[in-house]
Amino acid sequence: MKKGILGLVTIILVLALILGMKIITSDNKSYTPEAIRKKILSAYDYTNYTYEYIQDGEKTTKKVRGNIIVTENDKTYSWIDGDAMSMLTIDKEKNTYLMTSLNSTTKDLLYKKDFIGIKASINSYGNNLIYLGDESFNGRNCLRIRAGEDTEYLIDEETGFVLKYEASDGTLAEFNIEINNVTENDVKLPDLSKYDRVR
Read off the CATH number of the domain in which 139 is found: 2.50.20.10
Instruction: Indicate the pLDDT class of residue 35, thresholds 50, 70 and 90.
Output: very high
Distance, CA of 12 to CA of 82 (rounded, Å): 61
Residues 23 and 83 in one domain: no
Residues 39 and 10 in one domain: no
Residues 17 and 85 in one domain: no
pLDDT at 92: 95
pLDDT at 196: 96
Residues 8 and 46 in one domain: no
Q: What domain range is 21 assigned to?
A: 1-28
For residue 75, pLDDT over 90 is answered with: yes
Distance, CA of 8 to CA of 186 (rounded, Å): 62
Domain count, the chain: 2
pLDDT at 199: 74
Beta bridge partners of 88: 79, 99
**φ, ψ dihedrals at 110, nearest 5°:** -95, -30
Residues 118 and 165 in one domain: yes
Residues 58 and 131 in one domain: yes
Q: What average pLDDT does the segment 64-85 reach?
A: 93
